[in-house]
Amino acid sequence: MADQKIPQVTAKRLPLYYRYLEKLHAIGKQRVSSAQLSEALQIDPATIRRDFSYLGELGKKGYGYNVNYLLQFLRDFLKQDEVTNVVLIGVGNLGTALLRYNFYRSHNTKIVAGFDIDSNKVGKEIDGIPIFSIDRFAEVKELHNVEVAILTVPANVAQQVTDRIVAAGIRGILNFTPARLTAPPNVRIHHIDLTTELQTLIYFLKKFPPEENRE
Ligand code: ATP
């Protein structure tokens, strides 16, 4: 795959190319020249050739670009660049730590909002991430096109919060509470119980000290 470090100006034009190529594809066009693209999109042909050169060997001189190939290439390329927006519910100690943790640095994942019922927390920001009332969940979720939620509420409310966010269309939940949650089969729940993990580690250390495991 081509180098990911393409200039921002080029990256911004890729969706334009993509949309236009989709149109060409829809009317059955097989190839397109940079001159044709230039005219349709009002972008200088030299700029188009330079943009495409960042993506690798996409066209032959005198032939132009293969519409299908270019379309598939851009589709894959843009998908890799896609950022997945997630939200977090329960801005307590653990929730705050996770909001502060910059998932975005190493992955294309970004927490775009926190939710809580505590009026002292609602309306504030943590590291630039706004905290909303849980009553606004459906609205904010729709706005940011969110399908995944991190759950850091107290265990005794975890199921009711789950029911609510699932009803709003959440499809993936990272459950940091010790509660065992139930949800419809189209919802995926991953469970991270830090307390139990720590206790299990300590139990194994006591019961099976590592030295004894080694031959
Ligand atoms: P702290 O007490 O400092 O907030 P904590 O992690 O000990 O931290 P918890 O009692 O575990 O707090 O609650 C975590 C967060 O979940 C709190 O901010 C609380 O206000 C919030 N919370 C509780 N019930 C709900 C709910 N039904 N919906 C959304 N958030 C909730």
User: Nearest-CA neighbor of 90 among 21, 140, 137, 54?
Assistant: 137
What count of other Cβ atoms lies within 10 Å of the Cβ of residue 182? 11
From the CA of 16, how far away is ligand 1's center (Å)? 44
Does the CB atom of residue 116 touch ligand 1 within 6 A? yes
**What would the pLDDT profile of 116-157 be if each residue is shown by its tens digit?**
999 999 999 999 999 999 999 999 999 999 999 999 999 999
How big is the CA angle at 197 (ends 194 and 200), to the nearest 5 degrees? 150
Q: Which atom of ligand 1 is nearest to the CA of 153?
A: 16
Domains, the chain, ordered by start: 8-80 (1.10.10.10), 84-201 (3.40.50.720)
Sheet holding 172-175, edge to edge: 125-126, 129-133, 109-116, 84-89, 148-151, 172-175, 188-191
Does the CB atom of residue 118 touch ligand 1 within 6 A? yes
From the CA of 90, how far away is ligand 1's center (Å)? 5
Does the CB atom of residue 99 touch ligand 1 within 6 A? no
More confident residue, 77 or 182: 182
In which band, very low, low, confident or very high, does the pLDDT at 214 lie, cut at 50, 70 and 90?
A: low
**What would the pLDDT profile of 59-85 be if each residue is shown by its tens digit?**
666 678 889 888 888 888 877 667 889
**Polymer length in residues for the chain:** 215
